[in-house]
Amino acid sequence: MKLLLSRVVLILLLSLAASGGVHAKKYRPVNEIPGQVPETDEERGIWQVGIAHQNQVRGTEELVNDPELEHYIEGVIKRLMGSMVEEIGMEVDVLVFKDPTVNAWVYPNGTVGVQTGLLAAMENEAQLAAILGHEVSHFLNRHAFIQIKAKQKTSVLGKGLGVLATVAVAAKTGQVDTGLLTSGQIWTDLVTSGYSRKLESAADSQGLHLMAAAGYPPEQALPAFETMRLPEDNVVDVAKMWSSHPDIDARKKNLSKQIKKNKAVSSGAGMDSERYLHAIRAAALSNAQLQMKYRKFDAAIARLEKFTQALDTNPAGHFLLGEAYRKQTPEGNLAARISAYQNAITHKPDYADPYRELGMAYRQQGQKQQAYDAYSRYLELAGSALDAPIIGWYRDNLAAISTAPQ
């Protein structure tokens, strides 16, 4: 229940931050007034909502929880921000969520949330930098707070901003009123709002500048933004915040103009696709498992085939590819499955799971001795596994069949 409520709080926070509006007051960027943001109790409350959600999800199964992966993404953010990290006195922080949706966001305090679907969809580090630069720009310019303030005056949500105050208090007390968070039209409006075109354009422009200044080819922002586009038949989902952002085509057109106008010369950083895939491998494999869970087998297979071609020595990638083949066609594609499982074992001879699945595949093929040997090896490696008794039964049954009089 706590995890469910935390997701509700996150959606509320992001949706409020993503609401369009008019900005009457000029709020100085965080890096121009280091140590002074948040400036008011109101803004501090908004920060606390985000921090409360971060605290609730840390260490849970909602996250990939891979320190090496987090360190890599944090390194990209630090490269984009340069000296601003030290000037602001912030600790760069990333949370990687297990979710196949192509999505990322930034909390009011600068912590970046990235979903496995986004990491898997990017082709290289430069494309990831384009998205992260955009989100960092939202943080630097305090866009979450600006939008919430604007909504107080310009939207039907104005009457519901008591909800925000309630959640801000709840972030400190640990008590969340789910009735308030999920009520009627206010809830519908919150979860379907998008950032105003003005603030999106500002974040696009500054993100592009951060990219170029960090040495990344700015033109890589174009395919990165294209990846964020949802298919026309995709049902609007509260998690797909990027889907409701202003028109992707218009934004790409504007970015193209800026790239041509500025003629920034980059060092070509972040273009090594294989290096990028190696860096995000934990997220890529987690995302493939999620795609299989949601029966997106073609997408999972395409990603895993690419993964295993680039990172041929990664046993988990080969095993998951075999699993994708198996789950897509339980009674067929045996040769491809067997090949994938064998590749996994080649690179990790004591990897138990591929032996179990090899036994199953050989059994389907009628190759009794090979199935018997694979089952036996699995039991040697995983004799205490929960499924060991049933695998033992399969193996012993094969032995009984082979010794039965003909």
Instruction: Measure the CA dihedral 296/297/298/303, to 10°.
Output: 90
- Who wins on pLDDT, 76 or 248? 76
pLDDT value at residue 236: 40
pLDDT value at residue 242: 45
Q: In the structure, what pLDDT confidence band is assigned to residue 196 with cuts at 50, 70 and 90?
A: confident
Residue 38: is the preceding peptide bond cis (ω within 30°)?
yes
Number of Cβ within a 10 Å radius of residue 277: 23
Report d(CA 337, CA 304) in Å as an integer. Answer: 13
| Radius of gyration of the chain measured on its C-alpha atoms | 25
H-helix or E-strand containing 94? Answer: strand 94-97
69 pLDDT higher than 80: yes
User: Mean pLDDT of all residues in the chain?
Assistant: 84
Q: Which two tokens stand for residue 258?
A: 């800026």
Q: In the structure, what pLDDT confidence band is assigned to residue 228 with cuts at 50, 70 and 90?
A: confident
Report d(CA 2, CA 167) in Å as an integer. Answer: 14
Strand partners, 104: 114
Sole residue written with tokens 């009674």 = 331
- CA geometry: angle 112, 113, 119, nearest 5 deg: 110
CA distances from 51 to 87, 108, 149, 326, 340 (A): 21, 9, 19, 42, 43
Q: Which two tokens stand for residue 46?
A: 């908004």
CB contact at 8 A, 63 and 119? no
Q: Which two tokens stand for residue 229?
A: 């586009």
pLDDT value at residue 144: 83
* Percent of the chain whose predicted confidence (pLDDT) is above 90: 64
User: Residues 5-19: pLDDT tens digits?
Assistant: 556 555 555 555 554
Instruction: Please compute the mean of the pLDDT values over residues 318-346 and round it to a whole number.
Output: 98
Q: In the structure, what pLDDT confidence band is assigned to residue 173 with cuts at 50, 70 and 90?
A: low
Q: What is the model's pTM?
A: 0.85
DSSP 93: -
Report d(CA 49, CA 6) in Å as an integer. Answer: 10
- Domains, the chain, in order of start with CATH, read 2-262 (no CATH), 295-403 (1.25.40.10)
Q: Which two tokens stand for residue 388?
A: 């060991």
Q: In the structure, what pLDDT confidence band is assigned to residue 235 with cuts at 50, 70 and 90?
A: very low
- Spell out the residues 6+ positions from residue 236 whose beta carbon is closer than 8 angstroms to its own: 192, 243, 244
Q: In the structure, what pLDDT confidence band is assigned to residue 142 with cuts at 50, 70 and 90?
A: very high
- Who wins on pLDDT, 199 or 335? 335
Q: In the structure, what pLDDT confidence band is assigned to residue 145 with cuts at 50, 70 and 90?
A: confident
pLDDT value at residue 8: 55
Strand partners, 265: none
Report d(CA 97, CA 129) in Å as an integer. Answer: 18
Q: In the structure, what pLDDT confidence band is assigned to residue 146 with cuts at 50, 70 and 90?
A: confident
Residue at 257: amino acid letter: K
Q: Concatenated DSSP letters for 244-268?
A: GSS-HHHHHHHHHHHHHHH------
How buried is 86 (Cβ within 10 angstroms: 0-12 exposed, 13-18 middle, 19+ buried)?
A: exposed
318 pLDDT higher than 80: yes
pLDDT value at residue 35: 94
User: Residues 355-404: pLDDT tens digits?
Assistant: 999 999 999 999 999 999 999 999 999 999 999 999 999 999 998 765 54
Residue at 34: amino acid letter: P
64 pLDDT higher than 50: yes
Report d(CA 403, CA 400) in Å as an integer. Answer: 5
Q: Which two tokens stand for residue 243?
A: 């889907």
